Amino acid sequence: DRYSEPLTLEGIAAKSTPFVNPEVVGILNTQDSGELPTRGTRINGSLGWSARDRSFPYLRTDFDHFQPLRDTVSVFALGNVASGFGRNLTFYDQFTAGGLTQMDAYRYQELHGNSVLTAGGGLVYRGLNLKNTAFRPFLASWYEVARLDLSEQGWQTRQSTSVGMFAPTPLGVTGLILS
């Protein structure tokens, strides 16, 4: 790590330091699409040790599950768990949330914590996909809640609600989200 400015958070200074992160990674994916699935489960996880000036163990996992209700409607659940197992981490080592695909109402990595837990769910509607049209949008709505371990400030809760319209393109799914 190479930081341009040292940053001290709750008495813990983030310093430039070499590090190594040996970890075990697991992936389970039964979803029917890598872009916007209609069914299936995806779980990504890693468990490791960050060996550095202030070493710590960590766990990171995220998941989502899509369940079709009809041909045009799917419900989904999503979540994320990231933890330093009770250790107070430097600002740059803390786990983050916020931005596209996780707590959309917040800026990218706006939320920081020694542990971050998020969970949510929503609905995807594919009924606007008219046959023989080039533009085939999906509509979605979802809610997420996050719990963050902010050390001396304790655990805090944040919430995010979003609606969006998405369309497949040659470059992948493109969309517009209001959170």
Confidence of residue 150 (pLDDT cuts 50, 70, 90): confident
pLDDT of residue 108: 93
> Which three-class secondary structure state does DSSP give residue 149?
strand
User: Rounded to an integer, what distance in angstroms lies between the CA atom of residue 5 and that of residue 23?
Assistant: 28
Report the percentage of the chain scoring pLDDT > 70: 89
For residues 87-102, average pLDDT: 88
Confidence of residue 3 (pLDDT cuts 50, 70, 90): low
Confidence of residue 129 (pLDDT cuts 50, 70, 90): low
For residues 92-116, average pLDDT: 91
Q: 3-state SS of the chain: helix, strand, coil percent to 5?
A: 0, 55, 40
For residues 166-172, average pLDDT: 83
For residues 116-130, average pLDDT: 88
pLDDT of residue 2: 57
Confidence of residue 76 (pLDDT cuts 50, 70, 90): very high
Q: Is the pLDDT of residue 127 over 80?
A: no
Least confident of 12-16, 101-105, 119-123: 12-16
Q: What count of other Cβ atoms lies within 10 Å of the Cβ of residue 111?
A: 22
Q: Is the pLDDT of residue 49 over 60?
A: yes
Beta carbons of 100 and 110 less than 8 angstroms apart: no
| Distance (Å) of CA 70 to CA 38, 107, 124, 125 | 10, 34, 11, 10
Token pair belonging to 138: 């999906």
Q: What count of other Cβ atoms lies within 10 Å of the Cβ of residue 12?
A: 17
pLDDT of residue 117: 96
Q: Are strands 155-169 and 40-50 parallel, antiparallel or unpaired?
A: unpaired
User: Rounded to an integer, what distance in angstroms lies between the CA atom of residue 152 and that of residue 10?
Assistant: 8
Beta carbons of 70 and 125 less than 8 angstroms apart: no
Answer with the residue of higher pLDDT: 129 or 64: 64
Mean pLDDT of the chain: 88
For residues 138-146, average pLDDT: 95
